[in-house]
């Protein structure tokens, strides 16, 4: 798993993070949600690499990389995006990062 902070900023990427209806609960709830999210991210990455890329080819879909953002980065990004998507918050820092060719 890659840390989102270590990705080179000048590269164009699509970053997929899960949204939820409420802003962070207590830390225990966030940990349970983070574990579920990691499982979802991992399944999607495996499916993409094992099914979609062989089926369509890398010309049409680039395999994603599982990465994570720390809680402070998630909160900072959530505040920035709030004006664009009110009513939804970024929940956890597990994400899929897709390269753009």
Q: Are 6 and 72 in contact (CB under 8 A)?
A: no
CA distance 56 to 7: 26
Residue with more model confidence, 101 or 2: 101
Q: How confident is the model at residue 7 (pLDDT cuts 50, 70, 90)?
A: low
CA distance 16 to 95: 6
**Per-residue pLDDT reduced to its tens digit, 68-101:** 888 888 888 888 888 887 777 887 778 888 887 6
Split into its structural domains, the chain has a count of 1
Is it the case that residue 45 has pLDDT exceeding 60?
yes
**The sheet that has 89-99: what strands, in order across it?**
2-3, 65-68, 89-99, 13-20
CATH of the domain at 42: 3.30.200.110
Is it the case that residue 34 has pLDDT exceeding 80?
no
Instruction: Identify the H or E element spanning 56.
Output: helix 53-56
pLDDT score recorded for residue 25: 58
The model carries a pTM of 0.62
Which domain does 90 fall in, by range? 2-99
């Amino acid at each position: 798993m890659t840390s989102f902070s270590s990705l080179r900023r000048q590269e164009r990427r699509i970053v997929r993070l899960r949204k939820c209806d409420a802003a962070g609960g207590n830390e225990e709830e966030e940990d349970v949600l983070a574990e579920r999210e990691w499982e979802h991210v991992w399944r999607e990455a495996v499916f993409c690499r094992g099914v979609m890329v062989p089926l369509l080819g890398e010309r049409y879909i680039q395999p994603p990389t599982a990465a994570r953002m720390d809680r402070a980065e998630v909160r900072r990004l959530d505040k920035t995006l709030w004006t664009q998507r009110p009513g939804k918050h970024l929940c956890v820092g597990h994400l899929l990062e897709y390269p753009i060719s």
